């Protein structure tokens, strides 16, 4: 069975359409979405309506949560004062244009989804705002996967796609109980685990404007990172027409993040 | 009458006028005086040279007449002319009539007004394609302290054309950890660079020293850039917080204001 996993659409309807078309071409049997349907991009309502119409199982992203709950970011959300101001501009714009039923839909999205030995989250199993960067400490990475009980953890949020295999995992724990003189040693080996980041459909950060997502074949255990060209200039024009900051269009055209990225990949989000 | 050793230096933006002057001053035995004509309230080159060359005497434009009346004996004087100054209509004081005129020009430059004006043409740096309608934009940033990560973002955007075509950009900025940074960009050169100026860290409130930016470009959105720079600036509370952190981490003997 072929699964398509996509994330971080960010109100980019043109990119979503192109990815859905490519998923169709790949003959995927099922689609999962890892959230961040809204934020930054000019078409948040249209994107959510499309996801709803296709009944795509979706978990809640950090931007989806912010639109429901209001901004309450941990320091990890923004790497700079400028990024924070830009992020707040985008949040305020989205908050103004979002339809009530779209907000309700975002509010009821689950934080994670399971399909047999697969788990789907936006940022990490602990928090939608936590970045699982490819270079994050192996112990942290392994803990995040083990916390789900799954073998493959699909995430997004970083906007940069990657596959990370965690093999030969060996954990050793030493516990010293009160009243006992000798500490107890426990150790176990973890089987192969993987983290698969689906990248971003609508706001890529890999240096090109193309949308990214992944195809997972659970019969062959094969993971394919897909990169899809689309008419990003249409989205850029819509950014300008809708009064969003023009720098968003400039950055989108170059495959650069608009405002957010993890400043410190080892930081554990405390939101 | 005492003969003054004065050199006027002209040339297009980014060709290397200030760099050439710095080389002359560094290789000279005598003390030197520097003055930039046309830099207005954004004396970026003067601030840069004053920080980097110990003992250099830097004059403001309005001090020139007094200096000519009471020159310092035995020193070399360098006057840098902004690229936007019209050489044909430049009127110099009588005491400067015999000064040496140097044009710093990009390689391969032929038959320009600088060639007719200069006693000596020095080959400078490549500056990329010229602009048909160059526009000069300057902004002083008195007392402003910028967030370093934000400054890096806006400088990248600026030099990559997010606010219009840029041929030349330079600036001096105070950042949160108290350093004063000099940013320098010329279109066509490999990488924009920045340098930490040899100045004490400013860790006591808003800095009372020059900071500002100068950009030469075309179809340039100066309002958006100005707003973006403003968005990079720290509030009072954040400045105090960062400065306290740096003060607490200083070793004995570290220089700070």
CA distance B143 to chain A (A): 18
pLDDT digits (tens, 9 = 90+) for B209-239: 999 999 999 888 999 999 999 999 999 999 9
The order of strands in the sheet holding A211-217 is: A30-33, A2-6, A211-217, A222-228
Residues of A in contact with B157 (CB under 8 A): 247, 250
The structural domains of chain A, with segments of one domain joined by +, span 2-252
Task: Give the residue from chain A lying closest to B146, CA to CA.
Answer: A81
Q: What's the confidence (pLDDT) of residue A268?
A: 58
Q: Is the dihedral of CA A103, A107, A111, A117 positive or negative?
A: negative
Per the CB < 8 Å rule, is B231 touching A85? yes
Helices and strands, counts by H and E, chain B? 7, 12
The structural domains of chain B, with segments of one domain joined by +, span 5-123, 135-249
Tell me the average pLDDT across B147-174: 94
d(CA A56, CA A52): 7
Q: Which residues contact A233 (CB under 8 A, 6 or more apart)?
A: A253
| The residue to which tokens 């803990």 are assigned | A143
- The phi and psi torsions of B225 (rounded to 5 degrees) equal -65, -45
What percent of chain B has a predicted confidence (pLDDT) above 70? 98
Q: What's the confidence (pLDDT) of residue B129?
A: 67
What is the secondary structure of B156-193 as a DSSP string? HHHHTTTTSEEEEEEEEEEETTS-EEEEEEETTSSS-E
Q: Which residues contact A46 (CB under 8 A, 6 or more apart)?
A: A13
Question: What's the complex ipTM?
Answer: 0.85
Q: Is the dihedral of CA A67, A70, A74, A75 positive or negative?
A: positive
d(CA B68, CA B33): 12
CA distance A245 to chain B (A): 10
Residues of B in contact with A83 (CB under 8 A): 149-150, 153
Q: Are B173 and B146 in contact (CB under 8 A)?
A: yes
Any chain A CB within 8 A of the CB of B222?
no
The CATH class of B135-249 is alpha beta
| Burial status of residue A100 (CB atoms within 10 A of its CB: 0-12, 13-18, 19 or more) | exposed
Choose the closest CB to B157 out of A79, A80, A247. Answer: A247
Task: Give the residue from chain B lying closest to A245, CA to CA.
Answer: B224
Per the CB < 8 Å rule, is A246 touching B149? no
Q: What's the confidence (pLDDT) of residue B240?
A: 96
At the fourth CATH level, the homologous superfamily of domain A2-252 is: Metallo-dependent phosphatases (3.60.21.10)
Tell me the average pLDDT across B38-64: 92
Residues of A in contact with B233 (CB under 8 A): 81
Q: What rounded mean pLDDT belongs to chain B? A: 90
CA distance A111 to chain B (A): 31
Tell me the average pLDDT across B169-178: 96
CATH of region B5-123, choose from 3.40.50, 3.40.1350, 2.60.120, 3.30.1490:
3.40.50
Q: What's the confidence (pLDDT) of residue B89?
A: 83
- How confident is chain A (271 residues) per 10-residue block, as mean pLDDT? 96 98 97 96 98 97 90 70 91 96 96 96 91 87 90 93 86 79 78 92 92 95 96 97 95 81 57 53
């Amino acid at each position: 069975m072929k699964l398509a996993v996509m994330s971080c659409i960010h109100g980019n309807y043109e990119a979503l359409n192109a990815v859905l078309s490519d998923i169709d071409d790949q003959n995927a049997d099922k689609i999962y979405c890892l959230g961040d349907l809204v934020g930054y991009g000019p078409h948040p309502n249209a994107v959510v309506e499309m996801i709803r119409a296709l009944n795509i199982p979706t978990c809640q992203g950090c931007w989806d949560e912010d639109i429901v709950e209001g901004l309450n970011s941990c320091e990890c959300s923004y790497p700079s004062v400028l990024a924070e101001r830009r992020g707040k501009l985008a949040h305020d714009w989205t908050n103004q244009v979002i339809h009530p039923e779209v907000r309700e839909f975002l509010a009821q999205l689950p934080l994670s989804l399971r399909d047999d030995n697969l788990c789907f989250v936006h940022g990490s199993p602990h928090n939608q705002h936590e970045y699982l960067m490819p270079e994050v400490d192996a112990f942290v990475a392994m803990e995040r996967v083990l916390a789900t009980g799954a073998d493959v953890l699909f995430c997004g949020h970083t906007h940069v796609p990657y596959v990370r295999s965690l093999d030969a995992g060996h954990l050793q724990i030493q516990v010293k109980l009160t009243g006992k003189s000798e500490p107890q040693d426990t150790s176990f080996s973890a089987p192969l685990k993987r983290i698969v980041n689906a990248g971003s459909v609508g706001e890529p950060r890999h240096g090109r404007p193309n949308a990214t997502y992944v195809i997972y074949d659970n019969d062959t255990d094969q993971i394919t990172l897909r990169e899809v060209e689309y008419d990003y200039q249409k989205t850029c024009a819509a950014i300008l027409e809708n009064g969003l900051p023009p720098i968003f269009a400039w950055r989108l055209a170059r495959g650069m993040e608009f405002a957010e990225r993890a400043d410190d990949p080892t930081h554990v989000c405390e939101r | 009458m005492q003969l003054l050793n004065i050199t006027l230096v002209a040339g297009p933006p980014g060709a290397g006028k200030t760099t050439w002057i710095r080389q002359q001053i560094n290789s000279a035995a005598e003390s030197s005086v520097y003055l930039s004509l046309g830099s207005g309230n954004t004396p970026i080159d003067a601030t840069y040279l004053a920080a980097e060359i110990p003992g250099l005497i830097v004059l403001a434009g309005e001090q020139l007449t007094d200096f000519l009346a009471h020159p310092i004996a035995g020193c070399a004087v360098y006057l840098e002319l902004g690229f936007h100054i019209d050489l044909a209509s430049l009127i110099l004081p009588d005491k400067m009539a015999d000064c040496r005129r140097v044009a710093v020009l990009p390689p391969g430059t032929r038959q320009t007004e600088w060639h007719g004006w200069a006693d000596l043409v020095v080959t400078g740096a490549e500056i990329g394609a010229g602009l048909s309608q160059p526009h000069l934009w300057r902004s002083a940033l008195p007392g402003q302290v910028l967030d370093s990560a934000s400054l890096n973002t806006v400088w990248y955007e600026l030099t990559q054309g997010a606010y219009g075509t840029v041929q030349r950009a330079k600036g001096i900025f105070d950042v949160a950890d108290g350093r004063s940074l000099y940013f320098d960009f010329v279109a066509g050169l490999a990488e924009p660079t920045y340098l930490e100026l040899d100045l004490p860290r400013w860790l006591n409130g808003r800095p009372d020293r020059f900071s500002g930016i100068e950009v030469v470009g075309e179809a340039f959105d100066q309002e958006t850039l100005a707003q973006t720079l403003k968005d990079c600036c720290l509030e009072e509370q954040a400045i105090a917080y960062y400065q306290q952190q740096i003060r607490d981490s200083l070793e004995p003997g570290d220089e700070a204001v």
